[in-house]
Amino acid sequence: MEYTFRQFLEEKANVVSDQVAEIMELVSFQEVKKGESLLEAGKVCDYIFFVEKGLLRLFLFNEDGVEYTIQFAPESWFIGDRDSFYFNQSSIYNIDAIEDTRVILLAKDFANKASEISANFRNYNEFILQNHVRQLQKRISLLISASAEERYLDFVKTYPDLLLRAPQWMIASYLGITPQGLSRVRRELAKKNFKPG
């Protein structure tokens, strides 16, 4: 389901219409085909991406070549490597498209310029940043202390429409388990009559 950046500014950030038009002049957009990359490890992340339509994921490889999915970004989500973006470091992450995707590109000076245009945007941007930190802390906590079943249930709550959109092996890698482990968790939940969504 499509969710435009203009809708985000109006509905979530409560930016008034003339300011929305001004902020929209600060951004550009890009179409990405399924399987194409927006960021490759070793490169600097020049943008934060807002997904209007489609599905992206942020992932990395460990030294043994094992792939770990760190984040999914469906419609209305932001994604990027903030360490690389803000500190001009080479990224350890990759971002690719799981589906044909349209993204809004937010450059380094976007947040400051948009905040000068709209106090409402500035306030909502602060909320987004704090919420991002909260979600990262929760994710770390789940990975180190929760059972595979608890991590799966949290995934379903966080990404309710991704079970049919993302390949099962990617979901398993996000959860920190094998695809066989994911199948086992789903079988056990089915015995308990759990139905996602």
What CATH number did the domain enclosing 108 receive? 2.60.120.10
pLDDT computed for residue 1 by the predictor? 83
Residue 47 lies in a domain: yes
- pLDDT grade for 197, boundaries at 50, 70 and 90: low
- 168 residue type, one letter: Q
Residue 156 lies in a domain: no
46-65 burial by CB neighbour count: b if 16+ within 10 A, else e?
A: ebbbbbbbbbbbbbeeeeee
Residue 73 lies in a domain: yes
Residue 159 lies in a domain: no
Long-range CB pairs of 132-141, under 8 A, 24+ apart, other chains included? 132/78
- Cβ proximity of 171 and 155 under 8 Å: yes
Residue 143 lies in a domain: no
- 61 residue type, one letter: F
With 0.85 as the threshold, say if the pTM is over it.
yes
pLDDT computed for residue 177 by the predictor? 95
Residue 97 lies in a domain: yes
Residue 37 lies in a domain: yes
Mean pLDDT of 36-56: 98
Whole-number average pLDDT of the chain: 95
Host domain of residue 37: 5-118
pLDDT computed for residue 79 by the predictor? 97
The number of distinct structural domains making up the chain is 1
Residue 26 lies in a domain: yes
> Could you tell me whether strands 28-32 and 37-39 are parallel, antiparallel, or unpaired per DSSP bridges?
unpaired
Which residues on neighbouring strands pair with residue 32, listed in sequence order?
A: 101
Alpha-carbon span 95 to 115, nearest angstrom: 27
pLDDT computed for residue 193 by the predictor? 79
- pLDDT grade for 136, boundaries at 50, 70 and 90: very high
Alpha-carbon span 118 to 167, nearest angstrom: 39
Measured N-to-C along each axis, helices 17-24 and 110-117 cross at an angle, to the nearest 10 degrees, of 160
Q: Where would I find the H helices in 119-167?
A: 119-145, 148-158
Half-sphere exposure in the Cβ direction for 1 (13 Å, CA): 5
